[in-house]
Structure 1
Amino acid sequence: MKHLLNLLAAIALLVWGTHLVRTGILRVFGASLRHVLSRSISNRFNATLSGVGVTALVQSSTATALIVSSFVGQGLITLPLALAVMLGADIGTSLMAVVFSFDLSWLSPLFIFAGVVLFISRQSTNVGRIGRILIGLGLMLLALRLVTDSTGVLTSHPAVKALLGTLSSDLLLEITVGAVLAVVSYSSLAIVLLTATLAASNVIPLDVALGLVLGANLGSGLLAVLTTAKSAVEVRQVPLGNLVFKLLGVAMAAPLVGLWLRHVRPYLGDIATTVVLFHLIFNLLVGLVFIGWTQVVARWVEKLLPRPVKGAKAGGRPHHLDSSALATPSLAISCAAREALHQADVVESMLLGMLEVIRKNDLKLAEDLRKMDDTVDELYSAIKYYLTKISREALGEEESRRWTDIISFTINMEQIGDIVERVLIDIEDKKIKPGRSFSEAGMAEICELHQRLIDNLRLSMSVFLNGSVRDAQKLLEEKARFRDLERAYATTHLGRLSDRTMQSMETSSLHIDLISDLKRINSHICSIAYPILDSAGALAPNRLRQSVLLDDVSR
């Protein structure tokens, strides 16, 4: 029992080490890998080569599938090119299996020691994350040696020898077991390495090992399909197409396993080498055979998963919170930012409609605008929940600031939506239903403040998108001007009351509340500038190091 537990622990360590390497590389080089992929995909052959290179580094064809799927979802590359990348990705992960099949156990202590030192000393930096990668590599190499040692002890036991002697090959069962193991472990690479080690230790026969390898390949394709199951159709098409390649490849290779054992096996080295080379050659042949079929398979996939007709989605727009992008934090941050801008677009529509309600006393429009606040709230909740699923420790300093900026931006937009909803209710109760109207001068003041509000909202969206310090400073200057206007218009309104202007007297309460609410909305809009200025070092304890804000304080 002790030796069996040792074997299970070694297998778990191998899977965990693979996870550390994959996530660590994505955290450090995720943005660069996405840049390489997006720049190098000009034709099918370049796409395949880029898939080989990126996946050899990431050590996971599933991770590459998620990155490429997000590209297709954003319309950056076409589906046939994405499928060509995936053919290369499968070759890349099989190349890493060949590398790890060599006896590199002597590197394990060095990698673990160096990795721990780097990780502990610089944990929140890229240096620390590289240390995490080294720890993962060291654990993988250590786990492979532990698997060999544990299986050696187990197979020497008479009972285990008798059990192994009763095993018979059932190719379909082996493929199924290999696929299940790859899905459960979230790594076909780990399962292929484990299979090669077990075969080399005579725990499983060579023909069984080859069946498990075919199953692991199939499982990696199935894993990507399951991971993107809740994503947009465009995102799900890439893993499905890759799974089609794997199904066809396994269907063609399965009957040839016997020929491989009879005619190719004698020319290869040890058993472990035979297993990993079978894995590599399988993926090479699949890539060579199907590189010319990417267009055909893309058409099949589009028939199986047709893209929705434009406007079929809620609001007739794409949703940017792509769950498959969460594996690459920098990409997920970009998705959240795009959705936050859509939230701001909805808020802008509410503000524009609010003035129409005031002018035309349109109760139906007021009701529609108040319903839009529910959309703003739903977007805020969705963005917030999406951001919480991004690992904060996976973010660099700049990405962490961006994470905070997005949260701040969406909170401000949600609060603006709430204020607009309350304003609309007041307009209905105090103006439209009683049949009152603002004076001509009062209406002109409201229109002036409203136009400045819209301009400031659009400027704040630009600040959020581009992070321009100059625009952020301008936004805070507008905050001071807006406050001065609000005070001035409150004074002129009191003057109209002194002159006994009937319309002003009837709408006095609403008028004062309205311009005060517009100022509050403007404050939420302008607060978007603070994180940008703070990051640039342009904020002092008394806010801006600018004369205009010194004037602001003096007023």
Structure 2
Amino acid sequence: MLTLLNLLSAVALLIWGTHIVRTGILRVYGTALRRLLGQNMNKRPLAFIAGILVTAVVQSSNATAMLTTSFVGQGLMGLVPALTIMLGADVGTALMSRVLTLDLSWLSPMLIFLGVIFFLSRKQTRAGQLGRVSIGLGLIILALQLIVEAATPITHAQGVKVLFASLTGDILLDALVGAMFAMVSYSSLAAVLLTATLAEAGVISLPVAIGLVIGANIGSGLLAFISTNMQNTPGRQVALGSLLYKLIGLLVVIPVLSPLVHWIDALNYDAQTMVIGFHVCYNTLRCLLLLPTTGPMARLCKALLQARAEPQGQKGPKHLDPAALDTPSLALANATRETLRIGDIVEHMLEQMLNVLRGKQTAVTQELRALGDEAEALYSAVKLYLAKMPREDLGERDSQRWAETIELAVNLNLASDLIERMLRKVQQQKTSQRRSFSEVGLEELAGLHTQLMANLRLGLNVYLSADPESARQLLKEKRRFRAQERRLTHTHVSRLQRGVLQSLETSSLHLELIADMKRLNSLFCASAYAVLGASDTGALLPEAAHEAP
């Protein structure tokens, strides 16, 4: 029992080390990897090489699948180059299995020692995160040593011999067990390394080991497909194509497996070298042969997984991929896109408000209520998504972007609630009390509404571009709006002094709407302060004082 626990703990340490390396690399170089994979890779060799390099860096084809499916799901990449990248990822993970079987025992203590020093002393810096990666690499090498030590006494255990004796070289059964190994360990790399170690220890025969390796590839494909279950259809099509490619490899190798095993066995290499060598050659040849078929495979995946039309006004986020949380730059980009959706909803609600003011729409319709509910749902989703991000791993710029995003989401949600209240006020005035604005008063409100719409659009552009010049222009528009608001308030009071009947009847509502528009304008213009900072906005104050009279 103790031996089995030692083996399981060593496997767990291998999985954990792989996870640390992957997440550390993504946090330090996530932006660069996103830029590399997010390019329009129309040339298949370029996309294929990109898949190999990214997988070699992050130590996991599942991590590459996560990035690629996210980009396809967001429309940043086509399905054909994504499938090409996934073929490259299979080659990359095979090459890494070869590297990690070298005698690197001397490297493990040094990597862990240096990694701990850098991580604890400079935790919030890039050097600290690279120290985290160093710890993960050291743990991977250490785990491989522990697996070898734990597997040696297992060869003499009668129960284990009986268990593995049931694997007689039946390729389908062996592939099924290998797939289970990969899914349980959450890594085809870990499953292949464990298989090579067991083969070297004599626990399993070479034909069984080769079947387990093929099954480990299929298991990683199943794992990626299951992981994309919550994504949209284009993202799931990538995972489906990768899984189908691995199943095709199994079907192709079945007829030639027996002579292939005899030929490999005749090479007189040690079992570990033969298993790892087969893994590298099998994945490389399979992916190179299937590389020209990415176009037909893309069409097949689209036919098997057809995109479902989304109903109008569907509530809930579209871009908040949970798998992207390990990559801050990608997660922030997702939150940005979702926050801009809230801005689009608020803009639509503002347009409807003008129709209500002019009498073209006499009531707050179900559509407007649905828009308000959708804005609230998106705000809650963005807020929770940003809360799940590890802020301690964010750089200075990403941390600032995080704060800007949550602030804009809060402001837009407040604006949505305020617009709904304004519409209910107008509805009550027109339906219950049968009163309407004077012609002059209505045009004044419409003029303020036009300025409000323009400032909303400019505010969203400032948030998206972070352009200081546009931010200064937004603050100037804010001051123009406030000056206009004060002028219209004075004008309305003048009409009251003249005894205009319609102005007297709607006076309270008119002034309340002007005050509400002022609050909306402040919410829309808040993004300028985040871009300019206190010093730049303060520099504008003398100009504001000059324009105020």
Q: Return the offset for 1:182.
A: 1.2
Whether the aligned pair in 2 keeps the contact of 1:228 and 1:323 (CA below 8 Å) is no
Residue 509 of structure 1 pairs with residue 508 of structure 2: yes
Change (3 A) 1:415 1:227: same
Letter in 2 for 1:337: T
Question: Aligned residue for 2:215?
Answer: 215
User: Aligned partners of 2:485 and 2:492: how far apart in 1?
Assistant: 10
Deviations 1:385-441 (A, max 9, x none): 333343334432212221221111111111111111111111011234322222233
2:496 alignment partner AA: L
Question: What residue in structure 1 maps to residue 521 of structure 2?
Answer: 522
Residue 407 of structure 1 aligns with an amino acid whose one-letter code is: I
Q: Match of 1:265?
A: 265
Secondary structure at the residue paired with 1:267?
A: coil
- Cα contact 2:182–2:219 (8 A) shared by 1: yes
Q: Cα offset for 1:126?
A: 1.8
Residue 28 (structure 1) aligns with: 28
1:88-487 equivalences in 2 (<5 Å): 88-155=88-155, 157=156, 159=158, 163=162, 166-169=165-168, 170-267=170-267, 269-308=269-308, 314=313, 319-360=318-359, 362-364=361-363, 366-487=365-486
Q: Kindly tell me: are residues 285 and 162 of structure 1, through their superposed partners in 2, closer, same or farther at Cα, counting changes over 3 Å?
A: closer
Deviations 1:332-363 (A, max 9, x none): 21122112112111111111221221112522
Identify if the C-alpha distance between structure 1 residues 219 and 358 changes in structure 2 by more than 3 Å, giving closer, same or farther: same
Deviation string, structure 1 residues 301-328 (Cα, Å, up to 9, x no partner): 111111335x656569993333443443
Paired with 1:322 and 1:407, the residues of 2 have a C-alpha distance of: 17
> Following TM superposition, by how much is the alpha carbon of 1:87 offset from its aligned partner in structure 2, in angstroms?
1.1
The 5-angstrom pairing of residues 73-84 of structure 1 reads: 73-84=73-84
Distance 1:125 1:187 in 2: 29
Which 10-residue stretch deviates more, 489-498 or 365-374? 365-374
Distance in 2 between residues matched to 1:547 and 1:392, nearest whole Å: 34
Question: How far apart, CA to CA, are the structure 2 residues paired with 1:489 and 1:483?
Answer: 10
Which range moves more in the overlay, 255-264 or 328-337?
Answer: 255-264
In the alignment, residue 491 of structure 1 is paired with which amino acid? H
Distance 1:168 1:409, change over 3 A: closer
Judging changes above 3 Å, is the alpha-carbon distance between structure 1 residues 280 and 495 closer, same or farther for their aligned structure 2 residues?
same
Task: Name the aligned partner's letter for residue 350 of structure 1.
Answer: M
Moved more, 225-234 or 69-78: 69-78
* Aligned equivalents of 1:334, 1:409: Cα separation in 2: 14
- Identify the match of residue 545 of structure 2 among 533, 544, 551: 551
Contact 2:317 2:381 in 1 (8 A): no
CA contact (8 A) 1:164 1:204 kept: no
Q: Specify the code of the residue in structure 2 equivalent to 1:71.
A: F
**Residue pair 1:11, 1:147 contacting (<8 A) in 2 also:** yes
Contact 1:231–1:322, Cα closer than 8 Å, also in 2: yes
1:54: Cα distance to partner?
Answer: 1.6
Q: Distance in 2 between matches of 1:264 and 1:166?
A: 21
Native 8 Å contact 1:218 1:247 kept in 2: yes
Count of residues paired in the alignment: 548
Residue 62 of structure 1 deviates from its aligned partner by: 1.6
Contact 1:4–1:150, Cα closer than 8 Å, also in 2: yes
In structure 1, distance between residues paired with 2:115 and 2:95: 24
In 2, are the aligned partners of 1:232 and 1:322 still within 8 Å (CA)?
no
Distance 1:243 1:202 in 2: 31
Question: Distance between the aligned counterparts of 1:374 and 1:381, measured in 2?
Answer: 11
Aligned 8 A contact 1:354 1:366 in 2: no
Amino acid at match of 2:133: I
Q: How many Å separate the matches in 1 of 2:267 and 2:547?
A: 84
Question: Is residue 333–residue 403 contact of structure 1 (8 Å, CA) maintained in 2?
Answer: yes
C-alpha contact 1:178 1:191 (8 A) present in aligned 2? yes
Q: 1:366 offset after TM fit, Å?
A: 4.9
Deviations 1:104-137 (A, max 9, x none): 1110011111111111122122211111111110
**Greater Cα offset, 345-354 or 171-180:** 171-180
Unaligned 5+ residue runs, structure 1? Answer: none
Whether the aligned pair in 2 keeps the contact of 1:475 and 1:526 (CA below 8 Å) is yes
Q: Is the 8 A contact 1:477 1:549 kept in 2?
A: no
Confirm or deny: 8 A CA contact 2:364 2:427 kept in the other structure.
Answer: no
Contact 2:316 2:377 in 1 (8 A): no
Query: Within 2, Cα distance between the matches of 1:21 and 1:402?
Result: 25
- 3-state DSSP of counterpart to 2:106: helix
Distance 1:243 1:33 in 2: 23
Instruction: Give the 3 Å change call, closer, same or farther, for CA 237–344 of structure 1 in structure 2.
Output: same
> CA, structure 1 residues 549+207, in 2 after alignment: closer, same or farther (shift >3 Å)?
farther
CA contact (8 A) 1:26 1:328 kept: yes
- Code of the aligned partner of 1:193: L
Q: Which residue of 1 aligns with 2:498?
A: 499
User: C-alpha distance in 2, partners of 1:59/1:47?
Assistant: 18
By how many angstroms is 1:165 displaced?
A: 8.3
CA RMSD after TM alignment? 2.5
Counterpart code for 2:413: E
**CA gap 1:139/1:552 in 2 versus in 1, 3 angstroms:** farther
Structure 2, unaligned runs of 5 or more: none
Provide closer, same or farther for how the CA distance between residues 5 and 552 of structure 1 changes in structure 2, counting only shifts above 3 A.
Answer: farther
* Paired letter, 1:12: A
Contact 1:41/1:50, CA 8 A, preserved across alignment: no
Q: Scaled by the length of structure 1, what TM-score is found?
A: 0.92
**Pairwise CA distance, 1:442:** 2.1
Q: 2-side partners of 1:47 and 1:516: how far apart? A: 55
1:209: Cα distance to partner?
1.8
Code of the residue aligned with 1:459 in structure 2: it is L
- What is the rounded CA distance, in whole Å, between the counterparts of 1:374 and 1:301 in structure 2? 35
Aligned residues of 1:370 and 1:424 also touching (Cα < 8 A): no
Distance 1:380 1:140 in 2: 40
Q: How does 1:42-57 map to 2 (within 5 A)?
A: 42-57=42-57
CA distance in 1, matches of 2:384, 2:316: 20
SS of the equivalent of 2:308 reads coil
CA gap 1:163/1:180 in 2 versus in 1, 3 angstroms: closer
Distance 1:370 1:296, change over 3 A: closer
The alpha carbon displacement at 1:162 in A equals 5.9
Aligned residue type for 1:496: R
Greater Cα shift, 92-101 or 70-79: 70-79
Deviations 1:205-260 (A, max 9, x none): 33222221111100111111011111111111011001000001012224433323
Whichever residue aligns with residue 547 of structure 1, its letter is L
